[in-house]
Structure 1
């Protein structure tokens, strides 16, 4: 199991990164004179971080919306670095400007160490430092950002809404509870435990993607390599890579002997791979600073009975990272707990980013569509009157 654990530990970073990071192209155009953007500098532990408050035109005081990104050291636009000099652009800024057009002051911020990951000379140290953070650190940083936004002129501190995406939904929910927010918006919420959420990605996306490359549910090295060069999303290919040994190289790929439990040169996806991958995540997550009990945060399934404030859940039906059934369970749990104001919006044909996604194996984090943006704005307007 040690070899499998090492290999999956390496791959779990990739899994974690795709749990909540936007990979959409940068959207053209800035805020423009009608929607002034106020730059701010925040202090997150030992690190200074940049933030932006986008203000609506023609409104003396505006309700506040705080945006919280998904997993990994993203900047305030949801952008992140994947390799030396290569940056994947996000669209948090586009969402901020859209909500600002509806009359809201919108705060977004760089996550701790994010800026340093964009510079080749500091990237490695920054990623290492980020890997030592717990979710309690992320909550502290989000709290700092919220408090800074509340201190700004033209912000109506009596109407504060928290918006979280994917892993950020966990931070957003805890912050909304402690700050007595006016409402909570959850995009692709993490409802089950982190261990179960990671394992569910392999079961839903990995098994679906790998099936055409297998015979009778069993896959060989040739099938795994074909999958890695196939038309799947980054997450789908990451799941396929879990079937390779840690000793694999591009020149000499090797099938995982730990997953091939009967050593027949084939991996049975359901009876060999799935149980061991589930077991790994049950063992790995308590050892990770981000997910260890002492430094993590409760997921939405645990928090549901305490969420009595208005809650909006926006969920793509083709979301490869978060099972839409989880959003449905959360919405039902809110009703059972007696929450009088909870809404679930399901979007056919949209993925984790609420952008277009043909299916769960091709959810490539396309730009968020206008329909969910409009729905969020309408929901906010109705609860800030």
Structure 2
């Protein structure tokens, strides 16, 4: 075991072959090194460095920063039954390594691995804490063998894009560049407006309310598909009571303001959502780190590649244009037709689930870095 600045490294190395999007074996072998990083505040995370093989070290490096939620280093998304829908950070890492670029992944604060979590650490993970964690990972990466400390990029998905932008604004051109996937910009309430009002209510009206009476019953609510876009979060947010269980589901007594055991979409649910969005700042911890990604990009001036799917059901695609307008000299935007928030094929924004990332953005990421 050897010490590094921000943690300790248990070197467990291996050799594997990178798999492209079609799952066929690639002739490009990659090397894997596993180690731990002490993030401070009583949490040590497990990390994995994926390296190209060959004698061209030191390599440029991309650090992958998670979206919101307790993600492992692979950004694994699973169904409630345990079926893995995607592990896109692993796919990105292997694609980068096959193109001569190293990648560093780590478990988000509170994620212990093998399905175990430290919920106190997850609860403490506000934007300031996540920015500090990413900074620690960045500083650790600069000390790693075979990594070019002047060619380290930050890749942020969704909330991770906000984290990456804050780190870059703090560190300046020590960061070689940013890749931002599905980035929000500004107050998160605008994202909730898009998810729950623009997309969610429309879906509930046209799909969930099967008898078109503008009322949602428990049976209709139970038919909302899980792990299928932002609409799948609405039952827990607004429709089920906090005392509900899978065995004994109950209508949310706050949303059901007239107590009839049904939720009126326009007269009860819409006002509840609007109230929540209007008062969102009262429900979250106030931080020094900023959600105004456009302002952060203008401040840092760091080369940035913005990736956004035209069918993103979590962050509106128009946000990408906002980021370019805020820092047009340093921001390059790529929009992908038919792809969603995970840059996977998506037919319905309201049901934008996180499947395998498409090959086109993987190719573009590697080409952008290798052209620098």
Tell me which interval the TM-score lies in, with the shorter structure as reference length: 0.7 to 0.9
Cα distance in 2, alignment partners of residues 297 and 192 from structure 1: 8
1:211 equivalent in structure 2: 205
Cα distance in 2, alignment partners of residues 265 and 113 from structure 1: 37
Cα distance in 1, alignment partners of residues 295 and 146 from structure 2: 35
Please tell me whether the aligned partners of residues 185 and 291 of structure 2 are also in contact (alpha carbons under 8 angstroms). Answer: no
User: Which is bigger in relative contact order (C-alpha 8 A, separation at least 6)?
Assistant: 1
Cα distance in 2, alignment partners of residues 361 and 156 from structure 1: 41
Shift of 1:206: 1.0
More moved, 249-258 vs 319-328: 249-258
SS of 1:171's equivalent in the other structure is helix
2:371 equivalent in structure 1: 382
1:324 equivalent in structure 2: 317
Please tell me whether the aligned partners of residues 220 and 255 of structure 1 are also in contact (alpha carbons under 8 angstroms). Answer: no
| 1:329-375 residue CA offsets vs partner (Å, 9 max, x unmatched) | 2222223xxxx132111111111110111111221211001001101
More moved, 351-360 vs 249-258: 249-258
The 1:116–1:66 alpha-carbon spacing in structure 2 relative to 1, beyond 3 Å, is: closer
When normalised by structure 1's length, the TM-score is 0.79
Shift of 1:298: 2.9
Q: 1:356 aligns with which of 331, 341, 345?
A: 345
Shift of 1:27: 9.8
2:239 equivalent in structure 1: 243
**CA RMSD between the two structures:** 3.1
Shift of 1:184: 0.9
Cα distance in 2, alignment partners of residues 31 and 193 from structure 1: 42
1:171 equivalent in structure 2: 163
Cα distance in 2, alignment partners of residues 196 and 275 from structure 1: 16
SS of 1:309's equivalent in the other structure is coil
The 1:88–1:61 alpha-carbon spacing in structure 2 relative to 1, beyond 3 Å, is: same
SS of 2:167's equivalent in the other structure is helix
Shift of 1:263: 6.1
Q: Confirm whether residue 279 of structure 1 aligns to residue 275 of structure 2.
A: yes
Q: 1:137 aligns with which of 126, 129, 138?
A: 129
- More helix by proportion, 1 or 2? 1
Shift of 1:253: 4.4
Residues 229-378 of structure 1 aligned to structure 2 (within 5 Å): 229-230=223-224, 233-241=228-236, 242-250=238-246, 253-261=249-257, 267-270=263-266, 272-288=268-284, 292-294=285-287, 296-335=289-328, 340-378=329-367
Q: Confirm whether residue 40 of structure 1 aligns to residue 63 of structure 2.
A: no
Residues 115-194 of structure 1 aligned to structure 2 (within 5 Å): 115=112, 118-119=115-116, 123=117, 126-179=118-171, 180=173, 181-194=175-188
SS of 1:55's equivalent in the other structure is strand
2:11 equivalent in structure 1: none
1:15 equivalent in structure 2: none
Cα distance in 2, alignment partners of residues 129 and 299 from structure 1: 25
- Could you tell me which runs of 5 or more consecutive residues in structure 1 were left unpaired when the two chains were aligned: 1-25
Shift of 1:95: 0.4
The 1:234–1:308 alpha-carbon spacing in structure 2 relative to 1, beyond 3 Å, is: closer
Q: Would you say how many aligned residue pairs link Structure 1 and Structure 2?
A: 345
When normalised by structure 2's length, the TM-score is 0.81
More moved, 309-318 vs 296-305: 296-305
Cα distance in 2, alignment partners of residues 238 and 70 from structure 1: 15
- More strand by proportion, 1 or 2? 2
- Could you tell me which runs of 5 or more consecutive residues in structure 2 were left unpaired when the two chains were aligned: 1-20
Cα distance in 1, alignment partners of residues 69 and 179 from structure 2: 20
The 1:154–1:273 alpha-carbon spacing in structure 2 relative to 1, beyond 3 Å, is: same
